Amino acid sequence: MAQPKDSDPDELQPEASSSFKSNTLIKTFAPILGILIGLNLLLWTIALIIFRPYPLLYGTCLLSWILGLRHAVDADHICAIDNVTRKLVQEGQNAILVGFWFSCGKSNET
């Protein structure tokens, strides 16, 4: 079968399979997720040890953690991450870690 004369040869290349893409995402996100879960467990353990004589502070820790999670999904944060991600994808760059680095910078700011 002959190729049409006006077609771009790059358009005829098969796209990467979805299993390849999902394996790449899993390999990228698994270490990040493990680090985040590990840090949360470590910090909660430290908080439980430090505040053992003051059990009322456990509630304050939990409240600040929950409010921090709520603050993380504010519309302005989601828009900022989405805009940067879209820009990087348009430029053909890897945008997988945009949210992670945004959260690291935001947590250092406060």
Over its length of 110 residues, how does the chain's per-residue pLDDT go in tens digits?
455 555 554 454 445 555 556 777 778 888 888 988 999 999 999 999 999 999 999 999 999 989 988 888 889 889 999 999 999 999 988 888 888 888 888 777 65
Half-sphere exposure of 71 (CA within 13 A, CB side): 10
Q: Do 89 and 65 fall into the same domain?
A: no
Does 55 reside within a domain?
yes
Rounded Cα distance, 13 and 21, in Å: 16
Number of independent structural domains in the chain: 2
CA distance 61 to 66: 9
- Residue identified by tokens 């999904």 is 73
Cα of 40 vs its chain's centroid, Å: 15
Q: DSSP assignment of 55-91, as one string?
A: THHHHHHHHHHHHHHHHHT-HHHHHHHHHHHHHHHHT
Residue 84 sits in the same domain as residue 66: no
pLDDT recorded at residue 5:
52
**Pair (78, 89) in one structural domain:** yes
Q: Residue 1: what pLDDT?
A: 47
Residue 67 structural domain? 35-72
Q: Distance (Å, rounded) from C-alpha 82 to C-alpha 76?
A: 10
